[in-house]
Amino acid sequence: MKLSEKVRLYQLSLIASMLFAFVGFAYNAWRLEVSEQNNNIRTACFEMLRELAQLEQLIYIAHYDQDKTLGSPRKGWVSVGLINDFSYLTNSELQQSATTLRATWSDNWQNIYASTQAVDLVVKDIDTVRADIKQLLNELE
């Protein structure tokens, strides 16, 4: 084999090696970014689920136990606010559900002690947010 052919073969193998290294690095960087994004979404979803459970418990304590200390609407506002804030780390459907929950809570918080309808409206929106969270978690890569 001639020296020029060996040099050409060496150059081609070098180019191929560099190409494979670049492709591997690019894929690895992309995969890390997707994994980080999915991890952030999962964390936000789990925190939202925790806040949804606390909000639902607060509503039941306020309505059925008539406990104005443990069932304080101020605690509900904090939970609703956190749910809404965490939703911005997710997708647009979940953001919309959280915004709807906030609006429903805003319209009905003062009636949760006496009105079963107010409780049902807020709990329905809580269930909608939960369902959207479960759907989003199932769709993650």
In a domain, 79, yes or no: yes
Domain holding 60, by residue range, is 43-139
- Please report whether residue 3 resides in a domain: no
CATH code, 112 = 1.20.120
Assess if residue 24 is contained within a domain.
no
Q: How many domains does the chain have?
A: 1
Is residue 119 included in any domain, yes or no?
A: yes
* 36 part of a folded domain: no
Q: Is residue 1 part of a domain?
A: no
- pTM assigned to the model: 0.82
Q: What is the DSSP string of 18-73?
A: HHHHHHHHHHHHHHHHHHHHHHHHHHHHHHHHHHHHHHHHHHHHHHHS--TTTT-H
pLDDT above 90 for 141: no
In the chain, what percentage of residues exceed pLDDT 70? 99
Confirm whether 68 is domain-assigned: yes
